[in-house]
Amino acid sequence: MKPAKRPPLSARERLLLLVFPGALVLMIYAVFINPGHSSALSKARTQLEQARKQAGSSVAGTAALSADLTRLKQDLEKVKRESEALKQGGDTLQRAKSVTQVGNLLVKHGLVVVEEGPAGAAGVMWAIRFLGTWPGVQAALQAMPDVAELTCFPLGLTMHESAQGNSVHEWTLHLRL
């Protein structure tokens, strides 16, 4: 007897016959052959993330160090100029620039320069007489270190009481040029 003839396979059944064996082979590969590769891949990913974090922090650190180095070089140059000015008294042009800068700084902070002139015989001491209030004087003195090419140093500050009894006093700033 001849076996009964099977009906032809539908498109869906033919697709399942192709997909199921392939899926079975893929599952066997994933469970038995590939686990070592998966762990190596996950380890490599963690190492990559750590390297990215370190690279990011080192780039930021490098930029910060570069900015610090630039600032320190500027500070060193300023200290060298100030040291040279103290040793030699500076040249005449530099002294004149410094006095002008101090005068401009006082005016910038609302103080009125009345008189300025040499206070010593050698011309390395300078006195600037001005009018103003204590907050203006304090602000001007605090701003002096920020002036770029200033090579003079304040030696003393004197105050004369106002005759009118108000808060505007007469001040004298003594500088070492």
The answer on pLDDT for 124 being more than 60 is: yes
pLDDT band at 107 (very low <50, low <70, confident <90, very high): very high
Terminal C-alpha separation, the chain: 127
| DSSP string covering 32-82 | IISHHHHHHHHHHHHHHHHHHHHHHHHHHHHHHHHHHHHHHHHHHHHHHHH
Answer whether 0.85 is exceeded by the pTM.
Answer: no
pLDDT at 59: 66
Chain centroid to Cα 113, Å, comes to 36
pLDDT tens per residue across span 33-67: 777 777 778 888 999 998 888 777 666 677 788 88
pLDDT at 1: 63
The answer on pLDDT for 90 being more than 60 is: no
Helix (H, G, I), strand (E, B) or coil at 113: strand
pLDDT at 119: 81
Q: Average pLDDT, stretch 91-116?
A: 86
pLDDT at 155: 87
